[in-house]
Amino acid sequence: MPDSAGNRLAVVGTGLIGGSLLLRLHQAGHEVIGWDPRAETRDLGRSWGLRFADRLDEAVADRAVVFLCGPLVALPEILSEVAKATSDDCVVTDVGSTKLGVTEAARQAGLGHRFVAGHPMAGTENAGLASARPDLLVGAPWVLCPDPAVDPVRYRALVTLVTDVFEARVAPMEAGFHDEVVALSSHVPHVLAGALAGAVARSPVREGVLSLAAGSFRDGTRVAGTPSARTADMALQNRRAVLRQINLVRSVLDELAGNLERDDADAVLSQFESSRAVRLELLSRRMSRVERRFDGATDERSFLVAVGEQGGYLTDCSVEAGTVVYRALLPEDAPVTR
Please give the angle made by the CA atoms of 94, 96 and 101, to the nearest 5 degrees.
90
Pairing of the two strands 141-144 and 169-171: parallel
Q: Which is nearer to a second copy, 134 or 220 (CB)?
A: 220
Q: How many residues does the chain have?
A: 338
Closer residue to a second copy, CB minimum distance, 36 or 174: 174
For the stretch 18-33, what's the b/e string if a residue is b when 16 or more beta carbons lie within 10 angstroms of its beta carbon? bbbbbbbbbebebebb
Q: Which of 159, 89, 122 is nearest to 18 (CA)?
A: 122
Using CB atoms within 10 Å of the CB of residue 53, give its burial: 0 to 12 exposed, 13 to 18 middle, 19+ buried: middle
Structural element, H or E, at residue 67: strand 65-68
Cβ–Cβ under 8 Å, residues 54 and 75 = no
Q: Which CB atom, from 53 or from 200, has the smaller least distance to a second copy?
A: 200
Please count the helices (runs of H) and the strands (runs of E) in the chain. 14, 11
Report the nearest approach of a second copy to the CB of residue 98 (Å).
13
Give the side-chain half-sphere CA count within 13 A for 175. Answer: 21
Nearest distance, CB of residue 78 and a second copy, angstroms: 21
Nearest to a second copy of 310, 318 (CB atom): 310
Phi, psi angles (nearest 5°) of residue 91: -95, 130
Angle in degrees, 0-180, between the axes of helices 75-85 and 100-108, rounded to the nearest 10: 40
Q: How far is the CB of 94 from a second copy (least distance, A)?
A: 17
Q: Contact 9/65 with Cβ under 8 angstroms?
A: yes
Q: Which is nearer to a second copy, 195 or 325 (CB)?
A: 195
Radius of gyration (C-alpha) of the chain in whole angstroms:
22
CB closer to a second copy out of 61 and 209? 209
Distance in Å, CB of 302 to a second copy, minimum: 16
Distance of alpha carbon 172 from alpha carbon 52, whole angstroms = 31
Q: Residue 124, CB half-sphere, CA atoms under 13 Å: how many?
A: 19
Q: Between 3 and 264, whose beta carbon lies closer to a second copy?
A: 264
For the bound state, the minimum distance from the C-beta of residue 99 to a second copy, rounded and expressed in Å, comes to 12
Shortest Å, Cβ 177 to a second copy: 6
What's the closest the beta carbon of residue 111 comes to a second copy, in angstroms? 25
With respect to a second copy, which residue has the nearer C-beta, 62 or 281?
Answer: 281
Write down the least CB distance from residue 285 to a second copy, Å: 6
CB of 25 vs a second copy, minimal distance in Å: 23
Of 3 and 207, nearer to a second copy (C-beta) is: 207
Task: State phi, psi for 42 to the nearest 5 degrees.
Answer: -60, -40
Q: Report residue 320: phi and psi, to 5°.
A: -120, 110
